[in-house]
Amino acid sequence: MDMRKLVGRNFARLRRDRGLTQEQVAERSGFSQQYLSNLERGWRNPTVITLYELSLALGVSHVDLVRPDLEDPIEH
């Protein structure tokens, strides 16, 4: 799995866990809904600053966005 897909999956899961829509996160973060949609699909390569800003919008640690899940480890 590549990091873009991992971040996208983590972002989507954390967003849904908090009951937020992409539109609500877009309002909180300043990123467009289209950007967030592409991020969730693994089509974006976010910067460290972007990860930090998205984590603030979700109310999570930036580490949560890059944390590998145990069910599908990242291949090296």
Burial class (CB in 10 A: 0-12, 13-18, 19+), 15: buried
Domain boundaries, the chain: 3-65
The model's pLDDT over 15-66, given as tens digits with 9 standing for 90+, comes to 999 999 999 999 999 999 999 999 999 999 999 999 999 999 999 999 999 9
* Integer Cα distance of 24 and 1 in angstroms: 28
Q: What is the pLDDT of residue 69?
A: 79
DSSP character for 72?
A: S
pTM, two decimal places: 0.90
At residue 72 the predicted structure's pLDDT band, cuts being 50, 70 and 90, is low
DSSP one-letter string for 13-45? HHHHHTT--HHHHHHHHS--HHHHHHHHTT---
| Class (C level, CATH) for 3-65 | mainly alpha
